[in-house]
Every structure is written in structure tokens, then in C-alpha cells.
Amino acid sequence: MDRCTEQVAVSAFEFIKTITNQPWAILALVNVILLFMGCIIEGIAIILIAVPVLLPIMKSIGVDPVHFGCS
């Protein structure tokens, strides 16, 4: 993973942590974000954009990558 993607993931994680510390709330927030993105962007494009940002967040809150859809 390159440095720019890591910085985006860290910034996104810090922003989400300011909203809540509960893993279930973070998962719900991610669902809402993905639902909104799904209204305006094609599915494959969402995967290519969201996974590099959201996967480190999911790992840090203890969600298994398999349950997030990445293996």
C-alpha cells in the first residue's frame, strides 16, 4: 500500500473515531456511506475506491476481512 492511501485511511479512521467508538455504529456508518455511493457510482468503482480506505478501518475495529467481503 502506498503512502497516500495509508494517509487517507488514517484520516478517515480518525474522523470516524471522533463520531463513535462502537464497532456496530462504525459498521452502520459504513453501510450508509456505501448505500449513498451506490446511488451515484457503479459497484465495481465503489469497490476500487472504498476497499483501500475502509479495510484498515475494519481491521482496526476487529472485523475479519472475510466478513467485510475481502479475503
The model's pLDDT over 36-66, given as tens digits with 9 standing for 90+, comes to 999 999 999 999 988 888 888 888 888 888 8
The band of 6, judged by pLDDT with boundaries at 50, 70 and 90, is low
State pTM to two decimals. 0.74
Cα-based distances in Å from 10 to 34, 36, 41, 57, 58: 19, 22, 24, 8, 12
Supply the pLDDT for residue 32.
93
Answer yes or no: is pLDDT of 26 > 70: yes
Supply the pLDDT for residue 68.
78
Phi, psi of 63 (to 5 degrees): -85, 130
pLDDT higher for 1 or 66?
A: 66
